[in-house]
Amino acid sequence: MKPLHSIFIVDDDPIHQQITEIMLDRLSISNAVTKFSDAQDVLEHIRAQCSNASELPDVILLDLNMPVMDGWEFLEAFSQVRPSLIKQIKVYVLTSSIDEKDKERVSKFTFVEGYLTKPLTNDVILSLGK
């Protein structure tokens, strides 16, 4: 399996960020992990780099519950920005929520590749590279 080139972890919990990054590194899934605590920062980065493929991630692992801009607001805003991007970005929701309403709501965003629950497992991480 070829490693993904770049992954953005969007989570306000530094412990979850660190655990996810360590697991990605151990499984050689990514050669570039960037961590963001605020979804607004990710959105601004993507907007600023929309035509620069090397600065855009291949995958975004997105937490839903965050201060400032939460995952829901990010998904709404990203759906507007997405058509202008030079490359396709896979978005996975990575959350501690097991609420069926959240899963249902996420499924309305057709570009979301999966709904993953914390903590990540090796099998789930390996499936990201496929």
Q: Which two tokens stand for residue 46?
A: 């993507």
Provide the pairing of β-strand 112-117 with 59-62: unpaired
Alpha carbons 88 and 20: distance in angstroms, whole number: 22
Burial class (CB in 10 A: 0-12, 13-18, 19+), 40: middle
pLDDT tens track for 96-122? 988 999 999 999 999 999 999 888 888
What are the structural domain ranges in the chain?
Answer: 7-128
Query: What's the mean per-residue pLDDT of the chain?
Result: 91
115 in Cβ contact with 103 (< 8 Å):
yes
pLDDT tens track for 60-102? 999 999 998 999 999 999 999 999 999 999 999 999 988 999 9
Q: Which two tokens stand for residue 4?
A: 């993904």
pLDDT tens track for 9-60? 999 999 999 999 998 888 888 889 999 999 999 999 999 999 999 999 999 9
The fold of the 7-128 domain, in CATH, is Rossmann fold (3.40.50)
What's the confidence (pLDDT) of residue 1?
46
